[in-house]
Amino acid sequence: MNPKSPVKYKKYIAEESNIKIQNVDEIEELDNLIIKGDNLLVLQQLVKQYANKVKLIYIDPPYNTGNGSFLYKDKMPRCEWLKHIQERLKLAKTLMTDDGFIFVQCDDNEQAYLKVMMDELFHYKETIVVKTSTPSGVNAINVKRGEQLFKLKEYILCYGKHSNDTCRFNPMFIKSKYNHNYCYELIKDEHGYKINNLKKILNKEELEQYCLTNPDNIYSIETNNQKASNKLKEKLVESKYSNQLSEYVTKDGRTLLLYNGGVLTSLKERIVQQNGKNYFGVLIGDLWDDEIFQSNIHEGGVSFKNGKKPEKLLERIIQLATNENDLVLDFYLGSGTTISVAHKLQRRFIGIEIMENQINLCLERMQRVISGLDNTGISKNTNYKSSNNNSFVFIDYHNEVETILI
């Protein structure tokens, strides 16, 4: 920090269920930050300390639709809107780690133009389509008039700082209907392995309940192995006629279990836990239509009429792109969903917002989060109360454009 700066930082510290607020003169490397100010000016200052340190950036900027509820103009000429975003994205890129991600949420209004611009700055990864609503309410009136179709989705443009070789998602499974091909129970005794086909003794409901309760030894037999090596294909043919379980070690050291012409695939790896209960999971794709946008009006204990994103959405993004203790940045912070979820998932965070009302919502919300009193959103599925850093620093940068963070 610049020693001549007159600005004092306020540090909010949770001590059990109470919040202690103290003035501090310096920002420590691992401090979580909430910053009030113009995000362009703040990003310029963050570069001085946080260049190449941010693993994930998520932003939900104004969609340029004329909403009118933002301090930033939300109805600009397209070239002006793109310039507004581009200036900030260029700075954001300097903050990202070499394996870092940026996710930008938008709607149809500017999606195509935004993607072209981001293609020039980053390495394209995915365009995720998110179901955000269902056909109901006031919108139905306009649809019945033939003026438009239901607006059911938004987009999340996902980019890496560099190539796919350095920027990889964490594998993720999401809740789905049970696949009854996972019906083989593997039992090991003094004579070796034995496989029971549970379909022969259990109905579908009993099979699902038993397997989800005891997933450790449940498998399916994957017979679609066209991309397997020639040597593995030979072993699969042998297993089809031997009626015995065999092992095969791949070049990268993995041990595969072969049986009846297929590779055994473990149910345990597909288990998704919610509220202490096991569910079957499928690998996540680029269409998120699994109702993660269910009512979030009470999340965080704050009211934010337009634009509050659900914690489940940010949970998915943060888990896809980061690991514990990674740094997450949101410079259109809104009601603070991103930093709330980041903290609950044991990530560090920086949030930037210019509007007084939103900043007050964030401060109110995050005090509940760090003190362990927020039981909304994803709280039931996380153990965030055990966080090692139950504090954050608030910086009012709004009227102090000369302030230097470090």
Fold of 9-172+284-396: Rossmann fold (3.40.50)
The single-letter code of the amino acid at 319 is: Q
What pLDDT is attached to residue 233? 87
Tokens of residue 233, six digits: 């294909």
The single-letter code of the amino acid at 204 is: K
Beta-carbon count within 10 A of 131 CB: 15
H helix intervals, 100-246: 111-121, 139-144, 204-213, 230-242
End-to-end alpha carbon distance in the chain: 3
What pLDDT is attached to residue 224? 81
Among the listed residues 153, 77, 159, 144, the one whose alpha carbon sits nearest the alpha carbon of residue 108: 153
Query: Tens-of-pLDDT digits for all 406 residues of the chain?
Result: 443 344 569 999 998 778 999 999 888 989 999 999 999 999 999 999 999 999 999 999 988 766 654 445 567 788 899 999 999 999 999 999 999 999 999 999 899 999 999 999 999 999 999 998 877 666 566 676 677 788 889 999 999 998 767 889 999 999 999 999 999 999 887 777 889 999 999 999 999 999 999 999 999 999 887 778 888 888 888 888 887 888 899 888 889 999 988 999 999 999 998 878 999 999 999 999 987 887 777 787 777 766 689 999 999 999 999 999 999 999 999 999 999 999 999 999 999 999 998 999 999 999 999 998 898 888 877 766 655 579 999 999 865 544 444 4
What is d(CA 97, CA 51) in angstroms, rounded to the nearest whole number? 8
Instruction: Please give the DSSP secondary-structure letter assigned to residue 286.
Output: S
What pLDDT is attached to residue 242? 82
What is d(CA 376, CA 381) in angstroms, rounded to the nearest whole number? 10
Beta-carbon count within 10 A of 365 CB: 22
Number of H helices, E strands in the chain: 9, 20
Q: Which CA distances in Å does 126 have to 8, 65, 168, 234, 287?
A: 41, 24, 12, 37, 11
What pLDDT is attached to residue 2? 44
Give the start-to-end residue ranges of the domains of the chain. 9-172+284-396, 176-280
Question: Do strands 262-266 and 218-222 pair parallel, antiparallel, or not at all (unpaired)?
Answer: antiparallel
What pLDDT is attached to residue 385? 60
What pLDDT is attached to residue 148? 74
What pLDDT is attached to residue 137? 62
Instruction: Please give the DSSP secondary-structure letter assigned to residue 171.
Output: P
Please say whether the beta carbons of 218 and 182 come within 8 A.
yes
What is d(CA 217, CA 182) in angstroms, rounded to the nearest whole number? 10
What pLDDT is attached to residue 118? 97
**Residue keyed to tokens 């009006």:** 297
